[in-house]
Chain A
Amino acid sequence: MNRSSLLVVVQRYGDVSGGAEAHARSVVQRLASHFAIEVATTNSTDYLTWRGDLTAGLDRVDGVTVRRFPVERPRAWNFKLYERRAFRSRHTLDDERAFIDAQGPYAPELLDFLFKRGRDYDHVLFFTYIYYPTVLGLPLVPERAVLVPTAHEESAIGLAAYKPVFHAPRAIAYNTEEERRMVWRRFRNERVSNEIVGVGIDVPAERNATRFREKHGITGPYVLYVGRIGVSKGSRELFANYERWRASDPAHDVSLVLIGDAEMTVPRTGGIVHLGRLGEQDKWDALAGCAAFVMPSLLESLSLVTLEAWAAGRPVIVDARSPVLAGMARRAGAGLAYRGPAEFAEICELLIDDAALGDRLGRSGAEFVARTYTWPRVVETYVDLFAEIRMRLAA
């Protein structure tokens, strides 16, 4: 069989942290049997500096050819200055362009490759709207481009420079209904072909909460957070909310268990247990045993771990100010959203005291994930989007 070819463009690729990058890699792994697939990316693993810490040239990851193009200059040391200039209400188009170059990863050879060779591929799939490879690369192959924007509300998305990214591609694969609604409202690009695609969630057959408790010495009920621990993830507020709740309500002896790397100091408050980064099985065991999963981040286009918590049958506590998380929790009927510390405390108490409620919400979450976020459905949707592109190119 003569398979169609697919080029995947993403700012970093391989063993790197980052939601969009992990998303790209899992999609590549699932599509590899359907397409002659290659990845075009940079030689950096670090999105803060774009240091070229990998060798530029051909690489292989999970058996897929990866073309790594050199980042020609690290992220501008005074990037914040470019950001400030571009985000001012009175800024020039040159300010926007300077911001995009300064934000990086500045890899002109990747663009030259798309310019000269991009049309040799039947389709080109771009991950993340915001970075240089997508903003400047997608307009080079729009007639065969599919965008996975992984967009959320932030200052950058208001720049005029991003309009072509959302209007020029042949199709857009959104992560959630909420993301699509936000993009439509901002860009009025409803006419661009699109689907809610996201990712699939693989649930391990066996999940053992007791094993997790014994291994890590955790007794009593716990609320769980999994992910990067940092200010941008809402961790500071989470700690404050937890501490206020426990101080005002010592009767509930509930721990806050954290899994993931910390980019900030985790307070040494009683009840807060930081386990660092753990393996997949540990994570699923932890999810199975939690009274609730808490996701305090405001800026998510799709929270994989929230989907995983639902897949494990657990309820989720989210910040009502996060349109994506609150919207998904409402649609799934599988979580509760808080506005402020008092509601956070009330929700925690409610879920601890009424275990049946938590189980009911969790079941509803598992059904939501099984309906939307499964690999067979994700793969089928991509295959259909790409078929539509080939049809138009052949016409």
Chain B
Amino acid sequence: MRILVVVQRYGAEVVGGSESHARVVAQRLAMVNEVEVATTNALDYWSWAPHFPEGESMDGPVRVRRFPVTGTRSPTFKDAERHVLFEPHTLADEQAWLAMQGPHTPGLLEFLRDEGKGYDAILFYTYIYEPTAAGLPLVPERAALISTAHDEEPLRLVPYRALFQLPRAFGFLTPEERDLVHARFHNSHIPSEILGIGLEPPPWHDPEPFREHYAPRGPLVLYLGQVSEGKAVDELLADWNRYRAAGGTGSLVLAGTARMQIPKQDDIVPLGRVSDEEKYALLEAADALVLPSHLESLGIVLLEAWQVGTPCLVSAKNKVTSGQVMRAAGGASYGPGGFAAALAAVLADRDRLGASGRAYAERECTWPAFDARLEQLVDLVAN
């Protein structure tokens, strides 16, 4: 089968959830198919400045075609966006917003129109950017949309009204994403597959040093990821301090790049970025992982915690991560004021919840399980 993956940015050094997912999918599919990627020469999504050389290159077995981005993101983009999201505006304003957002790559679009019919299936990543919004309508008869949508304002904009009716099939990251898209676009008749993600088995790691260090002070509660308000770490700190004030014990370890002020307290330990081995050592040593973020389209770190049998605590405000925890029966979710009680419940039942999470990760996130779902999706599109 000849498969094309279209994504706004691509490469090992590209940071971004859907971009990483696209690369994993391209590499997995390339084990049994001829896979190509059509993308831009940009590395970041705020300037779309050229970084990679244009033209063809190989990423392992995957042929990558990079098309130039014409122009960079307009300096007035944020104003235009506020206008179409929050003020009275015209159809033309919304249509102009898409081009301003970028990345504008006429070469990629013409490639799709001219060469698209040479592929059995074309997988489009991320609904929001122009390569998908303008590219998928050129090849709807062979397109799958991996929308990576969440409940955000742009989803209401006019370029997406038809986009979500056009693909042959959808690949969703979670059942929550599927439900959101079906409710918004009334398109449940279009077949879909819940892809989730596949994970490598954890590398060799040693949790003992972390255990020995933290155990004497009580439970080790771990946060792993970007330390920022955007990820609701400020709320986590407030919840933690209330828990401590009410007599709770232990340490809150924050592993990840800090993008906010962290109070200097003995019980709050910022570690900065950690290596892969340290990450899994921390995950296994932790009594619980906590993920307070409201906006995750797939909580990969939860799956990683479950790989090593550690239960998770998530914010009930996030339907996706609460759904994951519920399906895995691998932890608990907490609403406002409920952090301490939920933490206590998880700690009291750590082994059982951790084992349940581990079983879930083994069922859902091994490569054979992921590859089977991918194959399903490709089959829905090709034929």
Contact = CB atoms under 8 A, between A and B. Distances in A.
A295 interface: no
20 contacts: A93-B110, A93-B138, A94-B106, A108-B91, A108-B92, A138-B162, A139-B161, A143-B161, A143-B185, A160-B138, A163-B137, A163-B139, A164-B137, A164-B166, A167-B140, A170-B165, A188-B142, A189-B140, A189-B141, A392-B188
B165 A143 contact: yes
A191 interface: yes
Contacts of A163: 137-141
Nearest to B183: A395
Interface in B166-189: 166, 168, 185-189
Nearest to A119: B161
Contact of A142 (B109, B142, B161): B161
Contact of B166 (A92, A93, A168): A168
Contacts, number: 69
A129 to B, nearest CB: 14
A72 B334 CA distance: 57
B161 A92 contact: no
A160 B136 CA distance: 11
Interface in A244-258: none
Interface in B80-109: 90-92, 94, 106, 109
A160 B142 CA distance: 14
A139 B162 contact: yes
B138 A112 contact: no
Q: Interface residues of B toward A: which range?
A: 20 to 34
Contacts of B137: 160, 163-164, 167
Interface of A: 92-94, 108, 111-112, 115-116, 138-143, 160, 163-164, 167-170, 187-189, 191, 392-393, 395
B113 interface: yes
Instruction: Enumerate the 10 nearest inter-chain pairs by beta-carbon distance, A residue then B residue, closest first.
Output: A139-B162, A188-B141, A167-B140, A115-B91, A142-B165, A168-B162, A164-B137, A168-B165, A160-B113, A142-B162
A141 B140 contact: no
A187 B90 contact: no
A141 B186 CA distance: 12
A164 B167 CA distance: 10
A108 B185 CA distance: 25
A74 B137 CA distance: 28
Nearest to A188: B141
A395 B106 CA distance: 38
A111 B162 contact: no
Contacts of B90: 112, 115
Contacts of A168: 140, 162, 165-166
B168 A191 contact: yes
Nearest to B191: A191
